């Protein structure tokens, strides 16, 4: 498999293309000195308007909010603020690199939030690894934000932080490495199984890697209707099964719980044994290449599906998986076909829950978003190299937002209940505003054009 059939790239050219983003990125970050800024959204006709936006006029909305704190969603931008919170302990494929080093990722997250979902997101990197303190900080931030996006927090701590924060707060709290990744994986599997003519709820699905992404994926797959016994987990030590002595309820209650529900046939052995005869493999593990071997793929069922989602390098190069017999291959990268990346999920999902001022976000909303992503791709036409929407298909994000907003209303957690049409028009307008604002700033040179690639890579 190659990124586009018409390119007919050699393996060397594919490898060079795969390495280019990392070569360009440091110079581009240095050129712009970061990726995000804060600019006004209100009219400033003259300095006299500051009497309205600040003192003395601002005292009037303050009094209204004091009388009814929920009016902070009407009289301030709280309705559209999201905090991107990380302790820097599990950043991409880099591991525990610390809060300062995590900041470029959180800024990037905020950029995607704004451009794809019209959400005003702020990177907040914490100098603490204590899960209880992280929850306390999120609670302390709640009066300012309409939602919390937890990011790049190590397992199993991330599960506790998510559960405790969701339980204690009245705004949506979301861990994108869990719920976002699971949402897009589910959408991709929905369409991949359609293309190969198999029923996903009856098929064998292996999850390679038992971190936050795949543990939540297991839960979401089960909630969607996949038989728990048909799901097989594998970690660095091999197949995960009930009774494995190194997996305890005390050390990792979430992994232990999944262990008790999955692997109905009681399969054991090494990672390679998790591939034998299965219909689909979803890998969210150690970056490759070579983490997944071609000979393992050859043991899978006919018309195999491989999602190699590790970043920055997939567990197996897509062309190697195809050579080994996989019919559909996806990765987490935008420069290969079938990107399975949570950037397709969180901007639209948060747009939806923010637009109804929801009090939480649930796995059912993940499923609603996944179904909308899959439907969009199917309606506009899909193929083995095109199973999911792309980030440049902006129309998918308001549709996803509406699906999540309506599910919020159905589940009784929405503070307001607009109609489907009102939700779609609002989401579309907000997202288009964000995109057009960026384009306008670029057009007028307020966002500078970057240097040419040959000037960046010296």
Residues classed as catalytic: 54, 109
* Residue that is written with structure tokens 């990011």 in the block: 151
How far apart CA 207 and CA 200 sit, in angstroms, is 14
How far apart CA 229 and CA 205 sit, in angstroms, is 10
How far apart CA 276 and CA 298 sit, in angstroms, is 8
H helix intervals, 118-168: 131-141, 157-168
How far apart CA 387 and CA 306 sit, in angstroms, is 12
H helix intervals, 282-345: 294-297, 318-323
Burial grade of 217 (CB within 10 A; 0-12, 13-18, 19 or more): buried
Sheet containing 173-175: give its strands across.
120-125, 81-86, 147-150, 173-175
Q: Using DSSP bridges, classify how beta strands 147-150 and 205-208 pair: parallel, antiparallel or unpaired.
A: unpaired
* Residue that is written with structure tokens 């939480």 in the block: 360
Of 15, 1, 162, 151, which Cα lies nearest the Cα of 85?
Answer: 151
Quickly list DSSP for 67-125.
Answer: H-GGGHHHHSGGGGEEEEEE-SSSBTTTBS--HHHHHHHHHHHHHHHHHHH--EEEEEE
Tokens of 263: 């692997």
CA 130 to chain centre: 23
Sheet containing 280-283: give its strands across.
238-239, 231-235, 205-208, 280-283, 304-308, 326-331
């Amino acid at each position: 498999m190659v990124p586009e059939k018409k390119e007919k790239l050699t393996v060397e050219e594919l490898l060079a293309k795969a390495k280019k983003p990392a070569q360009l990125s440091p110079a581009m970050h240095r050129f712009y000195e970061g990726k995000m800024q804060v600019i006004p959204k209100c009219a400033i006709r003259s300095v006299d308007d500051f009497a309205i936006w600040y003192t003395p006029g601002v005292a009037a909305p303050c009094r209204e909010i004091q009388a009814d704190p929920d009016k902070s969603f009407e009289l301030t931008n709280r309705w559209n603020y999201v905090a991107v919170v990380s302790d820097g302990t599990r950043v991409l494929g880099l591991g525990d690199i610390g809060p300062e080093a995590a900041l470029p990722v959180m800024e990037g997250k905020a950029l995607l939030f704004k451009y794809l979902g019209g959400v005003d997101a702020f990177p907040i990197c914490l100098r603490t690894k204590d899960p209880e303190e992280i929850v306390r900080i999120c609670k302390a931030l709640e009066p300012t934000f309409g939602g919390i996006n937890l990011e790049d927090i190590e397992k199993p701590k991330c599960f506790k932080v998510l559960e405790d924060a969701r339980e204690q707060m009245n705004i949506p709290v979301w861990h994108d490495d869990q719920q976002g990744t699971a949402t897009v994986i589910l959408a991709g599997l929905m369409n991949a199984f359609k293309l190969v003519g198999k029923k996903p709820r009856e098929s064998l699905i292996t999850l390679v890697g038992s971190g936050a992404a795949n543990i939540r994926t297991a839960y979401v797959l089960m909630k969607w209707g996949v038989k728990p016994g048909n799901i097989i987990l594998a970690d660095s030590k091999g197949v995960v099964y009930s009774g494995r002595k190194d997996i305890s309820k005390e050390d990792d209650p979430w992994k232990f719980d999944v262990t008790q529900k999955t692997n109905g046939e009681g399969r054991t052995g090494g990672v390679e044994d998790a591939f034998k005869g299965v219909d689909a493999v979803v890998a969210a593990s150690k970056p490759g290449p070579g983490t997944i071997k071609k000979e393992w793929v050859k043991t899978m069922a006919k018309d195999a599906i491989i999602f190699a989602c590790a970043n920055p390098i997939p567990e197996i190069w897509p062309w190697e998986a195809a050579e080994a017999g996989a019919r559909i291959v996806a990765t987490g990268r935008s420069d290969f076909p079938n990107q399975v990346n949570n950037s397709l999920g969180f901007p639209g999902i948060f747009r939806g829950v923010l637009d109804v001022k929801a009090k939480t976000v649930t796995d059912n909303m993940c499923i609603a978003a996944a179904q909308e992503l899959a439907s969009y791709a199917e309606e506009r036409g899909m193929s083995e190299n095109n199973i999911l929407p792309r980030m440049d298909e902006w129309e998918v994000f308001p549709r996803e937002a509406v699906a999540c907003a309506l599910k919020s209303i159905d589940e009784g957690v929405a503070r307001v209940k607009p109609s489907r049409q009102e939700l779609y028009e609002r989401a579309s307008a907000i997202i288009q505003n964000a995109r057009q604002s960026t384009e306008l700033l670029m057009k007028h040179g307020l966002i500078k054009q970057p240097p040419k690639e040959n000037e960046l890579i010296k």
